[in-house]
Amino acid sequence: MRVAVLSPVAWRSPPRKYGPWEQVASNITEGLVKRGLEVTLFATGDSLTQGTLQFVCDRSYEEDPDSNPKVYECLHISHLMEMAGQFDIIHNHFDFLPLTYSRLINTPMLTTIHGFSSPSIIPVYKKYNDTNYYVSISNADRSPQLKYMATVYNGLKVEDFTFNPNTGDYLLFFGRIHHDKGVYEAIQIAKKTGMKLIISGLIQDEEYFQEKVAPYLEDDRIQYIGNSGPKKRDEVLGGAYALLHPINFEEPFGLSVVESMLCGTPVVAFNKGSMPELILENKTGYLVKNVDQAMDRFKQLNDLKRKDCREWAISQFSQDKMVDDYIKLYHMILN
């Protein structure tokens, strides 16, 4: 089977630090290669893969200040579409724009919908409902206007995350620095517990950072350590007492939640979006409605076993399981 995987070009595949869509596209590509499939990854020129790499953009547009993102995107997507006849199936991780080419090619295309940036993009998906194949990354992140083949949870390379059986002495926020992700709420939880809080992530909203985060960094117990790469991520996740994930939006999926559990660290999250699908309540963490509820459950974190967190994450969110699920869908489409 010849598979083309279309990754975004905002970041390298896999990303050096932030880049969840690129990370998933990379994990799928490498997993398919291990299964003996002939895989071509369409990504940035500095991407890393055991498959065949095709690119027109040397670097990601987020790392190239001279680039024009729209130009990069158009060149990148059209490059694959002009080669479409060389593949049995195209696996699209580039949102809705590639769908507009789909009736111009004969190769079937499976699109993993990584979330809806706005309801305004749904009409594009709806237009191609009957000629494309859609997969959701959680049951929570589905539009009633669309037809889905399945839900396939994002899968991570288990070996990239070290299990730490020892309970840490600090709380951790790991994610984008943005109102949606609830950094401010994490700070409030930490202050009420009196525990140290480490904050790591890409500053996506500078104004929010300056108003809601920076003023609290004067307290030695609250530290911002920047945007962490894989090695540092593994270290801070595994060493934490708990991951705080007090989101303010209906999150389609939370990679950091799974990453934390793979390291053995339980999660306290606001009960929104996909969180009930990711966290096994009373076993790998707690789902709460607000800061006060988080405080009520906080005292019970010692009741959770870190090995249960690891085992649950492996059983549901491994690269192997994700690749198995996608290969089944490829065969369904082609047959």
Say yes or no: 278 and 323 in one domain.
no
> Torsions phi, psi of 154, nearest 5?
-60, 140
Q: Check residue 311 and give its pLDDT.
A: 98
Q: How long a stretch of residues is the chain?
A: 335
Say yes or no: 151 and 188 in one domain.
no
Say yes or no: 162 and 277 in one domain.
yes
Q: Check residue 41 and give its pLDDT.
A: 98
What SS3 class is residue 203? strand
Token reading at 249 = 């939006």
Q: Check residue 87 and give its pLDDT.
A: 98
Say yes or no: 151 and 243 in one domain.
no
Task: Tell me how far the alpha carbon of residue 266 is from its chain's centroid.
Answer: 18
Say yes or no: 127 and 117 in one domain.
yes
Q: Check residue 329 and give its pLDDT.
A: 98
Query: With contact defined as beta carbons under 8 Å apart, do 22 and 58 qualify?
Result: no
Q: Check residue 55 and give its pLDDT.
A: 98
pTM, rounded to two decimals: 0.95
Say yes or no: 290 and 147 in one domain.
no
Q: Check residue 218 and give its pLDDT.
A: 87
Domain tally, the chain: 2
Instruction: Determine the structural domain holding residue 113 and report its residue range.
Output: 2-155+318-334
CA angle centred on 235, ends 232 and 239, rounded to 5°: 145
Q: Cα separation of 155 and 74, whole Å?
A: 28
What SS3 class is residue 109? strand
Say yes or no: 18 and 39 in one domain.
yes
Query: With contact defined as beta carbons under 8 Å apart, do 115 and 130 qualify?
Result: no
Say yes or no: 178 and 92 in one domain.
no
Q: Give the containing element (helix H, strand E) for 40.
A: strand 38-42
Say yes or no: 143 and 162 in one domain.
no
Say yes or no: 189 and 201 in one domain.
yes
Say yes or no: 196 and 312 in one domain.
yes
CATH number, domain containing residue 290: 3.40.50.2000
Q: Check residue 299 and give its pLDDT.
A: 85
- Tokens 């839900």, located at residue: 151
Q: Check residue 261 and give its pLDDT.
A: 98
Say yes or no: 190 and 147 in one domain.
no
Neighbouring residues of 199: CB distance < 8 A, sequence distance ≥ 6:
172, 173, 177, 183, 186, 187, 213, 222, 223, 224, 225
The tens-digit pLDDT sequence of the chain (335 residues) is: 999 999 999 999 999 999 999 999 999 999 999 999 999 999 999 999 999 999 999 999 999 989 999 999 999 999 999 999 999 999 999 999 999 999 999 999 999 999 999 999 999 999 999 999 999 999 999 999 999 999 999 999 999 999 999 999 999 999 999 999 999 999 999 999 999 999 999 999 999 999 999 999 988 899 999 999 999 999 999 999 999 999 999 999 999 999 999 999 999 999 999 999 999 999 999 999 999 999 999 889 999 999 999 999 999 999 999 999 999 999 999 99
